[in-house]
Structure 1
Amino acid sequence: MGIEIERKFLLHHDAWNKLVKPVGKSLRQGYILNDPAKTIRVRIAETKAWLTIKGITLGASRLEYEYEIPLEEAKELLDNFSEGELDKIRYEIDYQGKTWEVDVFSGDNDGLIVAEIELLSEDEDFECPEWIGVEVTGDKRYYNASLTTYPFKDWTA
């Protein structure tokens, strides 16, 4: 059984913009099933693709199963079965022994930047870089699946 333990954070944009970043990866992802209790996602990252099945989030944990699939099949699945898609650039940044995945969204989610860190347990200690801001782990608006149906451009302050 696969379990993903992940925490999400917003960024301090000024500090993030000053950071020397590695080359980011362009991601296209869509949802074949987008239900609060479970999602089935297809993701394409340049020359590779994955099918991911995720369960309901409890705290910072959820069931997750991920399988690499042929790129052409992923494109067909997204083109023919996706209920909603999003595009983003992902930056992977190592800090104090952990990898932070920072997603810079585009399209209807332009302006949103979210950092995620995967942990071995929900109570694992870790250090945050200076560009990490407020935690949004429990806020469903920031789930990628939610951003396909209620994009950042539609939020009100």
Structure 2
Amino acid sequence: MALEIERKFLVRDLSITDSLAGERLTQGYLSHDKNATVRVRTTGDTAWLTIKGKTVGATRSEFEYAIPLADAQQMLAELCGAGVIDKTRYRLPQGELCWEIDVFHGDNEGLIVAEIELPSEKTSFEKPAWLGEEVTGETRYYNSALSTKPYKSWP
């Protein structure tokens, strides 16, 4: 079984991305079930279908498959509704690990989140000074939740 072990933080200083090249991602959700989400994502001329299980701690099952770009674009247009996520992702290696910093656009403008995937929940890592509050496990920060209740609508 494929597992994703991920910790998520808000970002307090976006200048960390100044020297990094970002990639624009578009993603939408085909299913928002509490036990599994099904996501379609595109970047450039590449597309994936991803199924993620329920998060327990910082771990969940994850299955990802490359799909034809035209299929993904049709799914985004016809099956995902208005809650399509638009963001720019920056990757910042840290030793054997890598931070992924997502700068959201559209209805989620103003939200900046950093995630780090870990080999185990017990893996220690350095927390850079540009990190803010940890939001691991706070469901409103899940991309699937942001697609139905965007950041701009939060009180």
Q: Which residue of 2 aligns with 1:131?
A: 130
Aligned partners of 2:17 and 2:90 also within 8 Å:
no
What percent of counterpart residues are identical?
A: 51
Q: 5 Å matches for 1:3-152?
A: 3-13=3-13, 16-17=14-15, 19-83=17-81, 84-152=83-151
Partners of 1:19 and 1:153 lie apart in 2 by 23
Q: Say which SS state the counterpart of residue 94 (structure 1) adopts.
A: strand
Q: Shift in Å at residue 19 of structure 1?
A: 4.9
Please give the TM-score of this superposition, normalised by the length of structure 2.
Answer: 0.95
Contact 1:87 1:107 in 2 (8 A): yes
Question: Aligned partners of 1:29 and 1:72: how far apart in 2?
Answer: 14
Partners in 1 of 2:61 and 2:116 — Cα distance? 16
Q: Which amino acid aligns with 1:35?
A: D
Q: What residue ranges of structure 1 are gaps of 5+ in the alignment?
A: none
One-letter code aligned to 1:40: V
Provide the C-alpha distance between the structure 2 equivalents of 1:147 and 1:32, rounded to a whole number of angstroms. 14
**Which stretches of structure 1, 4 residues or more, deviate above 4 A after TM superposition?**
none
- For 1:49-93, what per-residue CA distance to the aligned partner results, in whole angstroms no more than 9, with x for missing partners? 000000100000001000011111110111111143110000001
Q: TM-score, normalised by structure 1?
A: 0.94
Shift of 1:18: 5.5
Unaligned runs of 5+ in 2: none
Q: 3-state SS of the aligned residue for 2:87? A: strand
* Alpha-carbon distance in 2 for matches of 1:124, 1:97: 11
Question: Over aligned residues, Cα RMSD in angstroms?
Answer: 1.2
Is the alpha carbon distance of 1:124 and 1:44 closer, same or farther for their aligned partners in structure 2, counting shifts above 3 Å?
A: same
